[in-house]
Amino acid sequence: MFKKKECVAMLLAGGQGSRLYALTDKTAKPAVTFGGKYRIIDFPLSNCVNSGLDTVGVLTQYQPLVLNEYIGTGLPWDLDRNYGGVKILPPYQGKDGADWYKGTANAIYQNMQFIERYDAEYVLILSGDHIYHMDYAKMIDHHKKTGAACTIAVLDVTLEEASRFGIMSTHDDGTIYKFTEKPKNPDSTKASMGIYVFTRQKLFDYLIADAKDPDSANDFGKNIIPTMLGAGEKMMAYSFEGYWKDVGTIDSLWEANMDILGDDPVLKLNDGRWRVFSRHENAPPQYVGPNAVIENASITEGCEILGTVRNSVLGENVRVMEGAVVEDAVLMGDCIVHEGAHVSYAIIDRDVRICRGASVGKPRAAAKGIAVVGEGFVVEENGVIADGEIVSDKGGAQ
């Protein structure tokens, strides 16, 4: 018999991440490397731990191997527990057959038993592909005090950006009276962050009804939230004012990495009061050679820098050889940039080799877009990857 947990977190981590192209050929989006030593999923997992939540279900589907191995027993996040902790929840075969997760709501529906075993009063639903620091405990407390059936975290965006999000229209007290998915003419700038707190029984009632609807997309934004609003349920907005970035595109992933650089970075990763926990290998200290030039860069352990690195983020065990130049770039780990090679305005996935004299991308001011090189790719000697080009070992340019 499991003891009661007040709140269980359900982390949706099964997305394909198709807009990251080569970076998600072999890896689920939440497992993509970020900031040199982290994976994207480290942020919601760390937020859970820092918020005092010790029971997290991680719902996986697309390319789960790397993500499952990375999370493991949950030790790096202090979630390796016999009771609670982190649990991987893939689609499974039951007595009525097997089925993939059809949508975000269906994924939770298929795992209602996991929530029930802890007799949770509240369910926190998270996305596994956002970069941010957030105290979920404050949001849960707000939900309890208002007596809402559902509370949705919202971020104030510009009117020009609003058409890209699900938009909440609210009364002065934060009560939501209207929800519009990607409106052409938004009447509010309160954008849904895809973070929900539900009172469990209300959630279950609507999930069960939604599962019986053959015309439903089984999605929270498209189905569950509008249905609850239409039924007159009390829905509350919870305003968030900190850093938040959806890193679902090449541009947004590059921008978020750049946000950790500078004397006063937009995204602070060195705040001891709100640590970001991660699983990382025990690599040796980085080595900087006598002729190396490093300006405004984040260099992770295990790196060997003999050439020039400017305005860039380097993951563990990256080697930049003498005469090589890396600028305005993100190198995710275990890469080699050989002598005379040049990498500019680019994202380089893990285990990539850029051979002598090769060129990837163009200087940012002249580039048409960010160059992307997929995991394990070899850029041959004197080879050229054009600005904005995306290549992988699955078949060249994408």
Q: How far apart are the C-alpha atoms of 379 and 265, rounded to whole Å? A: 32
pLDDT tens readout for residues 192-235? 999 999 999 999 999 999 999 999 999 999 999 999 999 999 99
Which tens digits make up the pLDDT trace of 236-284?
Answer: 999 999 999 999 899 999 999 999 999 999 999 988 889 999 998 788 9
pLDDT at 93: 54
Give the position of tokens 């997290």.
Answer: 56
Q: Which residues are within 8 A (CB) of 356 and not within 5 positions of it... i.e. 6 or more apart? A: 338, 339, 340, 341, 381, 382
Cα–Cα distance, 292 to 337 (Å, whole number): 14
Per-residue model confidence (pLDDT) at position 331: 98
- 236 close to 148: Cβ distance less than 8 angstroms: yes
> For 180-189, 222-231, 372-381, which range has the lowest pLDDT when averaged over its residues?
180-189
Residue 95: its pLDDT value, please? Answer: 46
Mapping DSSP to helix (H, G, I), strand (E, B) and coil, where does residue 326 land? strand
Contact 341, 359 (CB under 8 A): yes
pLDDT the model gives residue 81: 87
Other residues' Cβ atoms within 10 Å of the Cβ of residue 321: 18
What percent of the chain lies above the pLDDT cut of 70? 95
Q: What is the pLDDT of residue 379?
A: 97
pLDDT the model gives residue 100: 72
Lowest-pLDDT range of 28-42, 162-176, 268-282: 268-282
- The pair of three-digit structure tokens given for residue 88, joined into one six-digit string: 């991987």
pTM above 0.75, yes or no: yes
* Higher pLDDT pick, 181 / 204: 204
Distance CA 313, CA 326 (A): 10
pLDDT attached to residue 92: 61
Question: In terms of residues, how long is the chain?
Answer: 398
pLDDT (0 to 100) of residue 395: 54
pLDDT of residue 272: 81
